[in-house]
């Protein structure tokens, strides 16, 4: 039975982190040199952590599945990064950022963690500027800001529509500096396939060299998981094609509790699905909602004409347009949080007002902003996004509104961690999207970049020292031990089994089936029936996978089908846990919308009496029901209330 101890410090909210830092132990420079740390993943969390730990003097090994650390999917984040600088004098503060984040997450995150995130947010911006990140600036030379959903202040820093890219290049540069100095060793095109535990502690990993197929062993005094989210369980998502949940899932099966797996973010502004051959979905940044207005026609006959291509959106007069977000949520308008905007789009489309041939699209219109500011200003702000949109859809968004629809984008759930970011396995840490900690049931825009860098630059480098201070007597971890032997054997057996099946279905065929089950039953609207159905169907599909998958080629070569098969095998288990978690959580909160639980206006209806807790799931064995362990959420600084974006 797993026991959850959040280790959140006592005392006033604003003093918790300072107090905690003063109390935890540090490791001397001479001892840091003797300690090894493995970091898996090189996105914002992994790259910033590996670089910072290297700077501190630890021996770091960093692994990624791409050909270079710079390719990690943080690179694709577009809109920006939040910080409580209050440079705009609009009454922003650490408390306000904290409050917006807790409220945006529908009161399902741990207060102490969220406050710390807001507290270190300002340091991140300073750090990135010092690294040479070319943030957008005003003519006076100072930093510019814009607004994101769920906030009434302008606190988002950005670098055109490529903020994630620029922040990652900053962290990657810091990482490169450490690689050059020898404190970090980089292993690109290596995938972690197993966690190795020795006497109950995380002591290493088994990897597959993706070019040669070689299975390798690596030992360390601590292991840091920075492997991102699991949105690709849906097959179609805005995640990169290679993003996967396997490293996290292997840790779960070794004893790390998995928290709130059903909390999935469906992002409201993505380019709609065009057909069955599609491989992934493309996000259009939330920043577009600063100047874009979302609408559908008021009249059904206009909808019909648009679908039949007899009418253009620009020809519909102002009075016949339903700017439904502005109508329903006057105070926040187009800048309501993502879960609210996505559900509102679904509501209009379900009512028959969807504006493309599939009926699953709404307009995102810039004509008002272009009339007010001129095309040049809009081009400066969003030029690359408009170009991307036009290349994909063949429609010029300066002339006609974009069509958009919600798509899977981010997972708030993840490996359970305490205040130190340590999982329920001693010596195993999880940072960034891979953990569950800061976003509750819905993440606000521009907060993922903030969390990844907060964890990597300013939280983990402090908290990991507390654990490692007890490891200074531990010798180098040897990898020729029975524990490593057994872990390597299980990896090799799994691979051999996959090749032995020689079935008829390709990995992609099966993955598409899983994605369909997930989207239909564990997507934007969930019911008891749909979730129960999903569990049964996923179990059946998992059986089918293990008798009917076709993995071509051999193990000892660059084999992308094998990579995909290993990841899908894990998604087929993870998907079931998501459905199970959603079934247990008989309330609507944030991105988790149970149809049975809604207000008369159709808003998410929480049940704080029964569900103000983190649902952490513990693995109990193959095909056995996992055990639910609850971490109660207590709120000292905020008052729980129905989220209100109307006034």
Partner 1 sequence: MNLKLKIWRQKNAQAQGKFVDYTVDNISPDTSFLEMLDILNNNLIKKGEDPIVFDHDCREGICGMCSLHINGHAHGPDTDITTCQLHMRKFKDGDTITIEPWRSRAFPVIKDLAVDRSAYDKILQAGGFVSVSTGGVPDANAIPIPKPDADESMDAAACIGCGACVATCKNGSAMLFVAARVSSLAKLPQGRVEAARRAKAMVAKMDELGFGACTNTGACEAECPKGISIAHIARLNREFLSAKLKD
Judged by beta carbon, residue 216 or residue 607, the one nearer partner 1 is 216
Torsions phi, psi of 377, nearest 5? -65, -40
Q: Is 293 a catalytic residue?
A: no
Contacts for 478 with CB less than 8 Å, ≥ 6 apart = 219
Q: CB 282 → partner 1: shortest distance, Å?
A: 5
Beta-ladder partners of 404 = 362
The DSSP output letter for 476 is P
Burial (CB < 10 A; 0-12, 13-18, 19+), residue 152, is: middle
Judged by beta carbon, residue 280 or residue 305, the one nearer partner 1 is 280
> For residue 189, is it left (φ>0), alpha (ψ between -120 and 50) or beta?
left
Judged by beta carbon, residue 47 or residue 303, the one nearer partner 1 is 47
Q: CB 534 → partner 1: shortest distance, Å?
A: 25
Judged by beta carbon, residue 73 or residue 289, the one nearer partner 1 is 73
Q: CB 272 → partner 1: shortest distance, Å?
A: 11
Judged by beta carbon, residue 138 or residue 610, the one nearer partner 1 is 138
Q: If you write DSSP's letter for every residue of 537-592 in order, what string do you get?
A: HHHHHHHHHHHHB---S-SSS--HHHHHHHHHHHHHHHHHHHHHHHHH--S-BTTB
Q: CB 379 → partner 1: shortest distance, Å?
A: 13
**327's tokens:** 């109508």
Q: CB 210 → partner 1: shortest distance, Å?
A: 10
Strands 258-259 and 613-618: antiparallel
Separation of alpha carbons 36 and 40, rounded Å: 13
Alpha helices in 291-333 (DSSP H): 300-307, 324-328
Closest listed residue to residue 21, CA positions, set 376, 430, 458, 380: 458
CA 586, 590, 596, 597 torsion-angle sign: positive
Torsions phi, psi of 131, nearest 5? -80, -10
**113's tokens:** 């963690």
- Which residue among the candidates 338, 443, 542, 567 is catalytic per the annotation? 338
Q: Are 577 and 626 in contact (CB under 8 A)?
A: yes
Rg (CA), the chain: 24
Q: CB 42 → partner 1: shortest distance, Å?
A: 11
User: Tokens 């029964």, residue?
Assistant: 610
Closest listed residue to residue 527, CA positions, set 582, 486, 482, 572: 582
Judged by beta carbon, residue 74 or residue 521, the one nearer partner 1 is 74
Separation of alpha carbons 319 and 398, rounded Å: 21
Judged by beta carbon, residue 125 or residue 568, the one nearer partner 1 is 125
Judged by beta carbon, residue 277 or residue 622, the one nearer partner 1 is 277
Q: CB 568 → partner 1: shortest distance, Å?
A: 14
| Crossing angle for the helix pair 507-521 and 528-548, to the nearest 10 degrees | 170
Separation of alpha carbons 431 and 327, rounded Å: 39
Q: CB 75 → partner 1: shortest distance, Å?
A: 5
Catalytic machinery residues: 338
């Amino acid at each position: 039975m797993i026991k959850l101890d959040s280790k959140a410090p006592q005392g006033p909210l604003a003093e918790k982190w300072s107090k905690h830092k003063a109390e935890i132990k540090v490791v001397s420079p001479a001892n840091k040199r003797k300690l090894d740390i493995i970091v898996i993943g090189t996105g914002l969390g992994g790259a910033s952590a590996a670089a910072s730990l290297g700077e501190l003097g630890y021996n770091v090994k960093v692994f990624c599945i791409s050909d270079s650390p710079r390719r990690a999917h943080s690179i694709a984040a577009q809109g920006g990064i939040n910080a409580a600088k209050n440079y705009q004098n609009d009454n922003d503060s650490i408390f306000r950022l904290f409050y917006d984040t807790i409220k945006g997450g529908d009161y399902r995150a741990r207060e102490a963690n969220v406050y710390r995130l807001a507290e270190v947010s300002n340091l991140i911006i300073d750090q990135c500027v010092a690294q040479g990140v070319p943030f957008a600036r005003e003519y006076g030379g100072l930093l510019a800001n814009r607004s994101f959903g769920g906030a009434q202040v302008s606190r988002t820093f950005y670098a055109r529509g490529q903020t994630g890219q620029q922040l990652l290049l900053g962290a990657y540069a810091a990482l490169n500096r450490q690689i050059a100095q020898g404190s970090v060793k980089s292993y690109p095109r290596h995938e972690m396939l197993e966690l190795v535990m020795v006497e109950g502690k995380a002591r290493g990993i088994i990897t597959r060299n993706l070019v040669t197929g070689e299975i390798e062993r690596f030992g360390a005094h601590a292991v840091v998981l920075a492997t991102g989210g699991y949105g690709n369980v849906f097959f179609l998502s805005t995640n990169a094609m290679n993003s996967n949940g396997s490293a996290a899932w292997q840790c779960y099966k070794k004893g790390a509790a998995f928290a709130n797996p059903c909390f999935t973010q469906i992002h409201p502004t993505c380019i709609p699905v065009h057909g069955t051959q599609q491989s992934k979905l493309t996000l259009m940044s939330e920043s577009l909602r600063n100047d874009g207005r979302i609408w559908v026609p008021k009249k059904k006959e206009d909808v019909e004409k648009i679908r039949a291509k007899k009418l253009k959106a620009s020809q519909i007069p102002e009075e016949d347009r339903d700017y439904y977000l502005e109508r329903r949520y006057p105070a926040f308008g187009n800048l309501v949080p993502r879960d609210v905007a996505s559900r509102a789009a679904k509501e209009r489309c379900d009512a028959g007002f969807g504006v493309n041939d599939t009926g699953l699209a709404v307009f995102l219109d810039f004509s008002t902003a272009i009339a007010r500011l001129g095309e040049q200003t809009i081009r400066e702000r969003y030029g690359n996004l408009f170009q991307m949109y036009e290349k994909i859809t063949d429609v010029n968004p300066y002339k006609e509104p974009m069509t958009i629809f919600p798509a899977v984008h981010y997972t708030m759930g993840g490996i359970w961690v305490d205040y130190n970011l340590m999982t329920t396995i001693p010596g195993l840490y999880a940072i960034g999207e891979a953990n569950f900690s800061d976003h509750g049931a819905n993440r606000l825009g521009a907060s993922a970049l903030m969390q990844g860098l907060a964890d990597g630059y300013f939280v983990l480098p402090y908290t990991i020292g507390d654990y490692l201070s007890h490891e200074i007597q531990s010798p180098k971890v040897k990898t020729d031990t029975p524990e490593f032997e057994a872990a390597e054997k299980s990896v090799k057996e799994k691979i051999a089994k996959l090749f032995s099946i020689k079935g008829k279905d390709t990995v992609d065929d099966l993955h598409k089936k899983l994605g369909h089950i997930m989207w239909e039953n564990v997507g934007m609207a969930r019911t008891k029936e749909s979730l129960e159905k999903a569990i049964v169907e996923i179990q059946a599909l998992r059986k089918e996978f293990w008798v009917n998958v076709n993995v071509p080629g051999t193990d000892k070569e660059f084999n992308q089908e094998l990579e995909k098969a290993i990841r899908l095998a894990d998604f087929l288990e993870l998907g079931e846990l998501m459905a199970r978690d959603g079934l247990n959580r008989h309330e609507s909160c944030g991105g988790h919308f149970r149809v049975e639980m809604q207000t008369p206006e159709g808003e998410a209806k929480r049940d704080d009496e029964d569900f103000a807790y983190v649902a952490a799931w513990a693995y109990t064995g193959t095909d056995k029901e996992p055990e639910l362990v609850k971490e109660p959420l207590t709120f000292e600084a905020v008052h729980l209330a129905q989220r209100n974006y109307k006034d």
